[in-house]
Amino acid sequence: MGVDIHGVIECRLWGKESWASASPWQVILSLYELRHGRGDELSWDCLFGYSSTEDIVPLFGRRGLPADATSQLRLDAEDPDTAEHSHSYATWAEIAAVDWDEPCMENGRAAFYHLERWHRRPDGTLGFDAFAWPPIDVHDAAADRFGEDRTAPHDWPEGAEIEWDAYVYRPVVFTPRRLVFEDSDKWEPVFSVMRTLAGLHGDDNVRLVVYFC
């Protein structure tokens, strides 16, 4: 079975007003209601340090559940039958402060397992297709071209690429923008809701709380 991401957007309503500065957190929407769930592991890794299949430095990695999270979130997290794990969170102020174009790879190296996969159009130009694990034929080609000890993408020479079976494969140094916003349908609806709430109630009074199961 696959793993899904779950979570909620919480808000301290009117928290930036002096008369409501101590207002409790309330759940506003769930990720489910924003149609966000399965199958986006690279962005999960970038944001919350979920899978660690690559040497990605997460932005808000495994912080645990906020101590002042809403009561239902805390009860669910303590229930062994829910199988929740890898809780984390981020306020809108933290998300808004991210440098989305700063490389998020350990030591700035290219990814170990993933490559950029580009397809060749009929006119000969290239179009980005996906971040992909290279097929064994590409590893073999890398061994022939670069040496037996340089088959992993992050060991390829600078500027190297391999064309194989209608695709061109290139090493990639991930940035948060590429991992989180390459498919804008994934996270932009979540951030749009948070951005709107933050405009009303304050950047520090809106947060995303997530977990996996």
pLDDT at 75: 77
Euclidean distance between CA atoms 154 and 173, whole angstroms:
9
CB distance 198 to 13 below 8 Å: no
pLDDT at 74: 80
Question: What tokens were used for 156?
Answer: 């390829």
Pull the structure tokens for residue 78: 């303590």
Predicted confidence pLDDT, tens digits, the chain (213 residues): 567 899 999 999 987 777 766 789 999 999 988 877 555 788 999 999 987 678 899 999 989 999 898 878 887 777 677 778 889 999 999 999 999 999 999 888 999 999 999 999 989 899 999 999 999 999 999 999 999 999 999 999 999 999 998 899 999 999 999 999 876 678 989 999 999 999 999 999 999 999 998
How far apart, in whole angstroms, are the C-alpha atoms of residue 150 and residue 105?
A: 19
pLDDT of amino acid 37: 59
Q: Are 113 and 42 in contact (CB under 8 A)?
A: no
